[in-house]
Amino acid sequence: MKKLLSILAVSVFAFSANAGTLDDVKNRGFLKCGVTTGLAGFAAPDDSGEWAGLDADMCRAVAVAVFGDRSKVEFITTTGKSRFPTLASGEVDMLARNTTWTISRDVNLGFEFVGVNFYDGQGFMVPSALGVSSAKELDGATVCIQTGTTTELNLADFFRLNGISYEALPIETNDEGKENLFAGRCDVYTTDASGLSSTRAAAADPGKWVVLPEIISKEPLGPLVRHGDHQWGDVVRWSLNAMIIAEELGVTSENVDAQKSSNVPEVLRLLGVEGSYGEMLELAPDWAYQIIKQIGNYSESYEANVGPDTPLEIARGLNALWTQGGILYAPPFR
């Protein structure tokens, strides 16, 4: 009896305790961040077992904003299917899991996308030996597709629109996709173009694979939090924006200390020398300074993880700053 009552009491407590995520994170002492099960360049353990990648940096940036320490984060892997329940149930504080921002996820699922950290689009990858040069030549092909994703729906739409047929081979993770594609169980792998580059980089012989020219969808990928906790949403949103603004202002992890005595007002506001933006967010005054110091600005993170000098070789393209021909744009820091 007593035991039953105490279980009931505990479950009431557990259910009602998800109000202020920022306070929860602070009390816990570390951030729980949902990432992929391993997608090189976005979130995957590196040679030393440390999580690295654009999304991993996003998680670390938030951890730095809250704690001033890039190591105060626990990475929790999620599949395309488990990511939303994991976030909704409060098992993670945020997702940075190359997740596409769509109206139904934003509205119906009860989440809040706080920005875009990578503008992507869905593409197709085939073995070059097939001699295919366009996705429209794929009539009758077997296509490996991750279930529960927007790409799954785009795929059906694309083939329907072009009046050609395909056979879907449903897979759960990127690794499963790789395994089936490399074994020839499917002819084509389709996912976000960045994911294809990542998969190709992991192949024994990357030259044997081609990414077809068609990009069939818009896939703005970004971090998301539970809907309704605006304070926490703001923290994640501005952690991302701080990295983008830092690139705009030319502040890097190397020159950030020198920039503290800059004469540009926005730099001083960003680094917490002027104004009280940290206080507004209930963070330390130098939260953005710490992000740039410990993680770097957006460009540094991009170049280190997915840029042309990495195995993924993804040019900045759409992800360049708005001043440099891309569409990366953050609201002003003021």
Footprint of another protein (CB under 8 A): 4, 8, 11-12, 15, 80-81, 84-85, 88, 104-105, 107-110, 130, 138-142, 147-148, 152-153, 155-157, 159-160, 166-172, 176, 179-180, 183-185, 187, 226-228
| Rounded least distance, CB 171 to another protein, Å | 6
Residue 314 one-letter amino acid: I
Determine how β-strand 73-77 pairs with β-strand 188-192.
unpaired
Distance of CA 48 to the CA centre of its chain: 21
Residue 74 one-letter amino acid: E
CB nearer to another protein: pick between 128 and 323? 128
Max Cα distance, the chain (Å): 70
CB nearer to another protein: pick between 228 and 250? 228
| Rounded least distance, CB 43 to another protein, Å | 20
| Rounded least distance, CB 75 to another protein, Å | 22
* Burial class of residue 273 in the structure, from the number of CB atoms within 10 Å of its CB (0-12 exposed, 13-18 middle, 19+ buried): middle
Residue labelled with tokens 């000098």: 309
Helix boundaries (H) for the chain: 2-16, 21-28, 54-67, 83-88, 103-107, 150-161, 174-182, 193-201, 230-249, 256-259, 265-270, 277-280, 287-294, 298-305
| Rounded least distance, CB 115 to another protein, Å | 20
| Rounded least distance, CB 319 to another protein, Å | 27
CB nearer to another protein: pick between 109 and 273? 109
* 67 close to 116: Cβ distance less than 8 angstroms: no
| Rounded least distance, CB 82 to another protein, Å | 9
CB nearer to another protein: pick between 65 and 171? 171
| Rounded least distance, CB 225 to another protein, Å | 11
CB nearer to another protein: pick between 151 and 290? 151
Residue labelled with tokens 């952690």: 239
CB nearer to another protein: pick between 74 and 176? 176
Count CA within 13 A, CB hemisphere, residue 186: 24
* 210 close to 138: Cβ distance less than 8 angstroms: no
CB nearer to another protein: pick between 111 and 289? 111
CB nearer to another protein: pick between 23 and 139? 139
Q: What is the DSSP string of 203-233?
A: SSSGGGEEE-S---S-EEE--EEETT-HHHH
| Rounded least distance, CB 20 to another protein, Å | 14
- At a CB cut-off of 8 Å and minimum separation 6, what does 215 contact? 121, 122, 123, 193
Buried/exposed code over 132-145 (b: 16+ C-beta within 10 A; e: otherwise): beebeebeebbbbb
Residue 167's nearest CA partner among 193, 188, 147 is: 188
| Rounded least distance, CB 56 to another protein, Å | 24
* 179 close to 43: Cβ distance less than 8 angstroms: no
CB nearer to another protein: pick between 35 and 186? 186
Question: What is the Cα–Cα distance from 174 to 12, expressed in whole angstroms?
Answer: 37
